[in-house]
Structure 1
Amino acid sequence: MPVLQGNDPAALQRAAQALAAGELVALPTETVYGLGARADDDAAVAKIYAAKGRPVGHPLIVHVADEAGAAAFAAAWPASARRLAQAFWPGPVTVIVPRRPGVATASAGGQDSIGLRCPSHPVAQALLRAAAALGVPGVSAPSANRFGRVSPTRAAHVAGEFEPDLLVLDGGDCEVGIESTIVDCTRAHPVLLRPGRLTRAELEAALGEPLQERDAAAPRASGTLTSHYAPRAQVRLMDAGHLRQALAVLPPTGADGRPPVALYSRTVRPASAAMPFRPMPEDAAATAHELFAALRELDASGAALIWIETPPAVPAWEGVRDRLQRAAAT
C-alpha cells in the first residue's frame, strides 16, 4: 500500500490525478481518514461501496473545498446550511441539503438530498483544490475502514483494511478524532442527525434557533445506524459502580489464557496489571481525539470483551457517547 506524505506537492498531484481518473484515495481530514472518490462519478463512488462492503443505499458525505463548491451538488442552499457553513466551515460539520438532480446519485444513496462538508485539514484542503483544478468538483469520502468497524485516525490504521495498491496520503493524527456533526437542513427547522465535537449550544447559537430531534422523516445519513464503529471484541458500557463490581469477580485470565476483558475508563482502574487498559481522559475533546485509536489498541490485545466506563451525560460528551453506544449495539 503506497503511503505518501500529504505535505509533498508531488504526492498531492498524484492523488489528485488518481481521483480525476476515477480511482480511490485515502485522505486525512480533521475528523477521521476518509476513503475518497470523485463524487460526480457514480462508477468511481461504487468502488467505495465495494471496498468497504457498505450497503449502496447508505449515503456518503461529499467533501468540497469551500462554500462556493457546494453549488455543484446543492439544488438549494437553505438559510440554516448557510449559517452553519459560515460559522464552522472549514470544519467538522456536515449539512444535508436538497441535491441537484442528476448529480452524485450514488453518493446520496439514491435520495434527493446530499450531505456536504468542507474539511479543515490542510492536506484535505490541498487535495480538494488540486483535484478541482483537474475537473473534480468534490470528493465523496466515508471513513477509510470496513463498513461498521472502528474509524481510522492515523494513516497506519488504514493499512491492512483494503487492497495493497490503495494510495494513502499521510496527514498525521486526526485532530478531532470522531466523525463530523450532521445537521439536516432540508426542512423548515434544522434537525441534528449525528452529534460530533460541536455542541448543541454552539450549533444553535450559529443557527439562531433550537435543533430538532431526529424523527422518521429524517433522510438517511452517514454513520447513523444503530450498530456502528464496532471493534471485533464485544463492547459493553457500564457506570463506574457496576464496572467495579464486575471487575471484582473477574478471573485474571480466560480459559484460553488470554485476558478476558480490556478496560477503558475514567475513574476505575484494573485490579490486575495484566489487564489491557487505557485511561480515558477527563476532557471530552481529548477523549474524542484518542477514542478510535484506543478502541483499536484494546481490540488488538486479544480480549473478547472491552468494558468501557459510560461517559458523563453532559452536552460536551454527546459525540463520544453516541459513538460508544453504537459500538456497543452489537
Structure 2
Amino acid sequence: MMITKIFTPAETKQAAKEIQLGELVAFPTETVYGLGADATNEQAVKRVYLAKGRPSDNPLIVTVSSPEMAADYIADYGEFGHKLIKEFWPGPLTLIFKIKPGSLSPVVTGGLKTAAFRMPANETTRKMIAEAGVPIVGPSANSSGKPSPTTAQHVFHDMEGKIAGILDDGPTQLGVESTIVDLSTAEPAILRPGGITPDQVAHALGQSVDASQHKVGANETPKAPGMKYKHYAPAAQVLIVHANDWEQALNWASQQNEKVGVMALSETLAGDLPANVLSYDMGNDLQTATHRLFDGLRYFDNEEPVNWILACAFAEDGLGAAYMNRLKKAAGDTFFEKKS
C-alpha cells in the first residue's frame, strides 16, 4: 500500500514534485480540501477517478494559480468572465468556459467542450500549483458521494494509501464548495450555490443571473460537479428539521431504540436532550453552521456512528441556499415529517 505523506505549508516544493511525477496530492482551499493531479496528464487524472470511486462522466474542476494559467486553455474570457474574475478571484468561485479545442483531455471535461476553472484563495495551494507549473484537477478529496473533507484528517481517513500526500494547511474556512457559474452560454447561470451568493454574482455582472439550474437528467452529462449524482451522504439517514419542528423531532428521537445524532444550533441543544441523543453543535448562526456541516456529517460517520441524523434547516436564500443544497443532497431531500 502507498504511504500517504503529510506535507506542511513549508513543503510545497515537495508536494509540487509529486504532482509533476503524476502522483495525487490533496490540497487545502478556503472551501474544502481538493484532490490534486496534473490536469494535463491523462493517466494521473484517471487515477483521481479511481481513488474517489467517481463516475467518469462527472467533470473535474481545473484549479489554477493565476488567471494567466487558465488563459492557456480558455477560448475567451468574455466580458462576464473578466468581471467575475476581477471581483472574486482568488476566492470561492468556479467559472465554466468554452475551452480551446484539444487543450484538455476529455477525461477532465467529461467529454464536453467546456471546463470549470477555479483560483482558490489559499496561498499555500496557489504556491504549490505555481511551483508544479501546471493546472491541477481539484475535486473534493473524499470518497465519491461521502461528505466533503474540511480537514487534512478527513482526507487521510478516506484516502490513506491511495494518494501520495496531503498538503495540510489546517481546517478550511468556508466549509462548503465554491459557487459554480456557467459562462459558456449566452446568459450566465449558477449551476451550484456556494459562498458567493447569487446576489453578489448579479451585482458584479450588473444583471440578473439564473440560479435554478442545479440538476441534470439521468442521461445527461453534467457541466459541473454535484448536479447529477448523490453527494455528501453519510452512512446514516439524514432527516432535515425545520426550526419549528425540533420539539417533535427530539420526542421522536427519544422513542427510538438506538442512538440518534442531532446536528443543531446551540440554542436547540441547550435544553435537556433525550438520553439516546448524541449532539453536534452547529454554532449560533448560518455562517457557523455552514462551516461545520460536513464536519458534523463526518462526526456521525467516523466517530459516533448512528443510523439517523436530525439536522437543522435554514431558509434557502443567500448562504442558506448553499447550505441547504448540500444538506438536501446528504438527506436525499428527506425532511422530518411533523405529526399532526
Q: TM-score if structure 2 supplies the norm length?
A: 0.89
CA distance in 1, matches of 2:57, 2:226: 13
* Contact 1:65–1:118 under 8 Å retained in 2: yes
Task: Provide the residue aligned with 2:294 in structure 1.
Answer: 292
* Contact 1:6–1:169 under 8 Å retained in 2: yes
Task: Provide the residue aligned with 1:236 in structure 2.
Answer: 239
Task: Provide the residue aligned with 2:132 in structure 1.
Answer: 131
1:146 partnered with 2:143: yes
CA distance in 2, matches of 1:219, 1:190: 16
Which residue identity lines up with residue 139 of structure 1 in the other structure? I
Q: Give the Å deviation of 1:294.
A: 1.4
Question: Matches of residues 301-316 of structure 1 in structure 2 within 5 Å?
Answer: 301-316=304-319
Q: Give the Å deviation of 1:121.
A: 0.5
- CA change 1:27–1:199 in 2 (3 A) is same
* Contact 2:262–2:277 under 8 Å retained in 1: yes
Deviations 1:179-211 (A, max 9, x none): 000000011110000000111111111111111
Question: Matches of residues 242-253 of structure 1 in structure 2 within 5 Å?
Answer: 242-251=245-254
* Contact 1:30–1:92 under 8 Å retained in 2: yes
CA distance in 2, matches of 1:124, 1:223: 23
Question: Matches of residues 42-53 of structure 1 in structure 2 within 5 Å?
Answer: 42-53=42-53
Task: Provide the residue aligned with 2:263 in structure 1.
Answer: 264
Task: Provide the residue aligned with 1:279 in structure 2.
Answer: 281
* Contact 1:113–1:219 under 8 Å retained in 2: no
* Contact 2:254–2:277 under 8 Å retained in 1: no
Task: Provide the residue aligned with 2:338 in structure 1.
Answer: none
In structure 1, the gaps of 5 or more residues are none
Q: Give the Å deviation of 1:140.
A: 0.3
What secondary structure, in the 3-state scheme, does the structure 2 residue paired with 1:126 have?
helix
* Contact 1:23–1:37 under 8 Å retained in 2: yes
What secondary structure, in the 3-state scheme, does the structure 1 residue paired with 2:9 have?
coil
What secondary structure, in the 3-state scheme, does the structure 2 residue paired with 1:182 have?
strand
Q: TM-score if structure 1 supplies the norm length?
A: 0.91
Question: Matches of residues 154-193 of structure 1 in structure 2 within 5 Å?
Answer: 154-164=151-161, 166-193=164-191
* Contact 2:222–2:228 under 8 Å retained in 1: no
CA distance in 1, matches of 2:108, 2:212: 21
Which residue identity lines up with residue 282 of structure 1 in the other structure? N
- Which stretch has the larger CA shift, 180-189 or 99-108? 99-108
CA distance in 1, matches of 2:232, 2:137: 19
Q: Give the Å deviation of 1:287.
A: 1.8
CA distance in 1, matches of 2:9, 2:41: 26
CA distance in 2, matches of 1:184, 1:253: 45
Number of paired residues?
320
Q: Give the Å deviation of 1:128.
A: 0.9
- RMSD, aligned CA: 2.0
In structure 2, the gaps of 5 or more residues are 334-340
Task: Provide the residue aligned with 2:38 in structure 1.
Answer: 38
Question: Matches of residues 203-214 of structure 1 in structure 2 within 5 Å?
Answer: 203-214=201-212
Task: Provide the residue aligned with 2:226 in structure 1.
Answer: 223
